[in-house]
Chain A
Amino acid sequence: KNEVEQSPQNLTAQEGEFITINCSYSVGISALHWLQQHPGGGIVSLFMLSSGKKKHGRLIATINIQEKHSSLHITASHPRDSAVYICAVRESGGSNYKLTFGKGTLLTVNP
């Protein structure tokens, strides 16, 4: 059974700080997703990646397939980045439509 672990569970930062959220998983995957959920809000897909690195604005996502690990970085953090960040993996093989979700990392960025 695939386990998706995120760390830290909670993270508080000051505006402008560099943020790193980690995700590790236990089985082979075909893709990894990073999602963002604002309090009481909907879920937005930030990245889908299967290798290497992707960048969008101040957000950077990396993945190391051999180590079964991904990181989400936020540069020059801002209070509007405060949200829950969720890592989800899609296993390779038969059920390759199915996402297994981590429990999320609650990020609070203070002004």
Chain B
Amino acid sequence: DAGVIQSPRHEVTEMGQEVTLRCKPISGHNSLFWYRQTMMRGLELLIYFNNNVPIDDSGMPEDRFSAKMPNASFSTLKIQPSEPRDSAVYFCASSFSAQYEQYFGPGTRLTVT
């Protein structure tokens, strides 16, 4: 398997623009996680999906952030409108089950100017 795939790898955008990050989990995995990593706060869970259903979105910073998982092989994280403080590396991870080992994607480095 190719592992967890994320796109784009790098995104530079201006404040106020919409940003969409994409993730393809490992086939057969039913749990998908979106994380954000910053120097100040480290890794933080944004949202957790189980069988395509959002289970915990308590980590989503505010209404500007939204995530969807329309099917088992695709998820998006959208920021609209983006702000400079959203600059971070966003990781998607998947696992066979929430209690199993998580496999991380390569991350998307987002810079909002």
Contact = CB atoms under 8 A, between A and B. Distances in A.
Interface size grouping (class) on chain A: 20 to 34
B74 to A, nearest CB: 19
Contact of B45 (A86, A96, A99, A104): A99
Chain B: interface secondary structure?
strand
Chain A: interface secondary structure?
strand
A44 B101 CA distance: 10
B99 A101 contact: no
Given A43-B91, A104-B42, A98 B56 contact: yes
A57 interface: no
Nearest to B102: A45
A98 B45 contact: yes
B53 interface: no
A86 B43 contact: yes
Interface residues of B, number: 22
Nearest to A90: B99
A41 B102 CA distance: 16
Interface string A61-83: 00000000000000000000000
Contacts of B82: none
5 smallest beta-carbon distances between A and B, as pairs:
A97-B98, A43-B104, A42-B106, A101-B43, A48-B101
